[in-house]
Structure 1
Amino acid sequence: MENYVLTDAIGTQHTFAKVPQRIVSLVPSQTELLVDLGLESKIVGITKFCIHPKNLRNEKVIVGGTKKVDYDKIKSLAPDIIVCNKEENTLEMVENLRQIGQVWVTDINTLEDNFQMISDFGNLFDCMAEAENWNQKIALAMNDFKKFIQNKAVKRVAYFIWKNPYMVAAGANFINEMLLLNRFENAFAKLSRYPEVNIQEINKDKDLDYVFLSSEPYPFKEKDALEISVYTHSANVILVDGEMFSWYGSRILKAFDYFKKLHQNL
């Protein structure tokens, strides 16, 4: 096989003499996608947060988290490729990992980015048929969901991801993309990334319909909803599954059914 050149989402060119056989994956949702593309046997290292499928953490080497890893442990695995994400992993981590081997970085802010990532993995790991199959299934489910949602009234929301300090998902990220898909207007969309907010002023000039408390990265519970409801006035405070709003990759296929149930229960 001749050398082949591929470019990742941040513009880094990679030259491969053969299809990568030993994968370290440092993003939970991308680990799940790799498994769904039939690559589980090639995964040699994962993070402690790679919880899907459930058996994986008992069968693969855990090399750390998404922000901090054991470089020596990763080096000992002799990976052909280390799969990262621009938002999930730090620039410092990526630069250090490049001293060990090739680092493929994804950057997912939109649904189109997600389709591209799946196609890229198909080319990178020589599983084009599986990647195309997943993209087709996701596209069909997305179109079905768009028909379901098209006549729903737009609702104004705040989506909380953290407590102490309170932080929300703002614009230019994948959570905001999923909110828009659901016809939820993000009250903080004009801000960037994940700003801190003053909970006592959460509904000031916002006219919120709903406040969503995500199950991750901070595991909001009912007691948190009660605490926050003091400040939300007429807005309903609802616990939501963070994986469905923030996990890209193959997880999106399950998200559409979850979103339908969510709307039916609002």
Structure 2
Amino acid sequence: MTMKISPAADAASPLRDALGAEHRPAVGEVRIVSLVPSLTELVCELGLADRLVGRTGFCVHPRDVLKTVPKVGGTKDVKMDVLRGLAPTHLIVNIDENRRETVEELATFVPNVIVTHPCAPADNLALYRLFGGVFHCADRAARLAADLGAALAEAQAVARALPREDVLYLIWREPWMSVARDTYISATLAAVGWDTLPADAGARYPEIDWQAAWMAGVSRVFLSSEPYRFRERHLAEVAALSGRSAAMIDGEMASWYGSRAAAGLRYLAGLRSALAEAT
């Protein structure tokens, strides 16, 4: 599951991660462990599956490829001994999904830790460039960037064509929880003209008070398929609590960055158009 990479010329500009740390193009044997499900998918999409030596149990796409890749625990409960035994040269982590203290401990024995933090769909462009430069797959990364650019334009066209709507996006039940506007999910929804409420939240994933004054501004409620597994049976319950139309939404398409960003925008643009036609 490993291969050799020859030294390559430096990129025209530095390759920096979310913390501003500069990364050099990989040299020699490359062994990647990813603790971020959507970026594990990106690693495979970039043609790097044969260099992926570890993943979390939540890294499930692409399923056929990952069946033989060892698990190192979860995104927050990493099995240190297992990960150490895989001898990774590169570790991929995320500010939101992984614990800082865990990453700091891992950094004591993993030579290269790439920290990510995309907060909006367009942030994936820098992510593609970073991975493409570090892992010598710039051509594949450029193709992803071009596709994302087209998807962003398509999303903007839908957002311009329809009136903006304030929506409630539910991610959990008992307690009921939503997303703040500084999350990737909210930014992705905003790209097609859906603005999440509450507009001002004290937490990134706030608990919902169905009697709050801002609820009066909600036009539509979405039940995400993850992390809570909302099902069709929950639609009537939420409609009764909110007094609003409720619909299911694919949580992976709204929240997974990386290689799924373009598909996610197209999914949301299509859903926005379909729901607008149905009302």
- State the TM-score, normalizing by the size of structure 2: 0.88
Matching of residue 163 in structure 1 with residue 154 in structure 2 = no
2:251 to 242, 246, 250: 242
CA deviation profile, 1:71-116 (whole Å, cap 9, x unmatched): 1111111000010011111111111211220211101102232111
Aligned residues: 264
Q: Aligned partners of 1:80, 1:165: CA distance in 2, in Å?
A: 40
Q: Aligned partners of 1:32, 1:179: CA distance in 2, in Å?
A: 21
1:172 to 177, 182, 193: 182
1:138 to 116, 139, 148: 148
> 1:112-123 residue pairs with structure 2 within 5 A?
112-123=122-133
Deviation, 1:3, is 9.8
The gaps in structure 2 that reach 5 residues or longer are 1-6
Question: Which residue type is aligned with residue 95 of structure 1?
Answer: E
Question: Which residue type is aligned with residue 10 of structure 1?
Answer: L
Matching of residue 153 in structure 1 with residue 171 in structure 2 = no
- Give the match for residue 205 of structure 2: 194
> Does the Cα contact within 8 Å between 2:132 and 2:140 map onto a contact in 1?
yes
Structure 1 residues 204 and 122: alpha-carbon distance in aligned structure 2, compared to 1, 3 A threshold: closer
Question: Which residue type is aligned with residue 121 of structure 2?
Answer: L
Q: Aligned partners of 1:91, 1:115: CA distance in 2, in Å?
A: 24
Secondary structure, counterpart of 1:260 in structure 2:
helix
> Does the Cα contact within 8 Å between 1:158 and 1:187 map onto a contact in 2?
yes
Question: Which residue type is aligned with residue 52 of structure 1?
Answer: H
> Does the Cα contact within 8 Å between 1:159 and 1:168 map onto a contact in 2?
yes
1:99 to 102, 108, 118: 108
Question: Which residue type is aligned with residue 150 of structure 2?
Answer: L
- Give the match for residue 269 of structure 2: 260
> 1:24-43 residue pairs with structure 2 within 5 A?
24-43=33-52
Question: Which residue type is aligned with residue 70 of structure 1?
Answer: K
Q: Aligned partners of 1:197, 1:220: CA distance in 2, in Å?
A: 16
Structure 1 residues 213 and 148: alpha-carbon distance in aligned structure 2, compared to 1, 3 A threshold: same
- Give the match for residue 89 of structure 2: 80
Structure 1 residues 210 and 57: alpha-carbon distance in aligned structure 2, compared to 1, 3 A threshold: same
> Does the Cα contact within 8 Å between 1:203 and 1:231 map onto a contact in 2?
no
Q: Aligned partners of 1:264, 1:156: CA distance in 2, in Å?
A: 15
Structure 1 residues 19 and 137: alpha-carbon distance in aligned structure 2, compared to 1, 3 A threshold: farther
Q: How much is the aligned-residue C-alpha RMSD, in angstroms?
A: 2.0
> Does the Cα contact within 8 Å between 1:20 and 1:81 map onto a contact in 2?
no
The gaps in structure 1 that reach 5 residues or longer are none
Q: Percent identity?
A: 35
Secondary structure, counterpart of 1:252 in structure 2:
helix
Q: Aligned partners of 1:17, 1:204: CA distance in 2, in Å?
A: 50
> Does the Cα contact within 8 Å between 2:223 and 2:246 map onto a contact in 1?
yes
Deviation, 1:16, is 6.5
